Chain A
Amino acid sequence: MYAMFVRTGTLKLWQATYCHSSNHEACARYKIAVTGKPVPSTLLPNGKDLAKQS
């Protein structure tokens, strides 16, 4: 997902909202990661799956 953010030039937008703020616990990827489960590679922090939208 990180590579995808970089490629589309959208990295800092998502980072500012979900990574570099107190809102990181709202990140859908974070919620799955803390359970130890593998995070889908196309899952966005807002819970939407790019694979289902492309």
Chain B
Amino acid sequence: MIEFWPFWVGGAALAAVALFHWILVGRLMAVSGRVSALIDAVRWGVPEPTPEIDEAALIAAMQAATMAEFGDAAAALLAPDGEDAPAEPEAPAAPEAPAEPEPEVEVAPLAVSASRQPLWMHVLFFASLATGGLVSAALGGFLRPELALRGERFTAAFGDGGLQLAVLALGGAMIGFGTRMAGGCTSGHGLCGVSRAQPGSLAATASFFGAGIGLSLLLRALS
């Protein structure tokens, strides 16, 4: 019988991993994003490396580009009675372009898209993922290759033959499809998005766990 950590210990450990990932890589942890990056690399080739750009220069360019795009019309664009006014009229006015934009102190660098990271970083991430699982299983004394799932209810519902494999394959395909459509998975949405109170992540995570709970109850009823 596997002895799992208390839920609060596991949760704290996951949060620590996500935080460590952000500090080390400068990017939110998202497993499906890295999968997408690997797939993109296969489909479109590895993207050209991004030249090093000074963060302050990038911010200045952003502000200049915004002024060039909107100019004096920015204030009118944000007016409550403007034709294209956003739903929140308290939006800030046209951004001021300081002479020397200063990045915030002790703030993580601007996030870099996963697709711009070197390919080896994605491979290393997944290798580490698998290694961590193996180490955990070995330390827990349950490192035993098995073909059957541990879920007794799943086995009772679908047997241990071809039907089980077909259900697993279908479930895996649905996970991949849903993750891509949702723009993230339980790591990106659940760990990082929910902690930042992102509406999309809250909705996605509620859907993930809602569907999981519902299916678990269904399997219990079927077994």
Contacts and interface: CB of A to CB of B under 8 A. Distances in A.
Nearest to B74: A13
Interface residues of B, number: 42
A12 to B, nearest CB: 4
A53 B44 contact: no
Given A13-B74, A13-B77, A53 B43 contact: no
Given A8-B59, A12-B88, A41 B112 contact: yes
A11 to B, nearest CB: 9
Contact of A54 (B53, B111, B116): B53
A32 to B, nearest CB: 11
B46 to A, nearest CB: 10
Interface string A39-54: 1111010101011011
Contacts of A5: 62
Interface of B: 37, 40, 43-44, 47, 50-51, 53-54, 57-66, 69-70, 74, 77-78, 84-88, 91-92, 94-95, 101, 103-104, 110-113, 115-116
Interface of A: 3-5, 7-10, 12-17, 20-21, 23, 36-42, 44, 46, 48, 50-51, 53-54
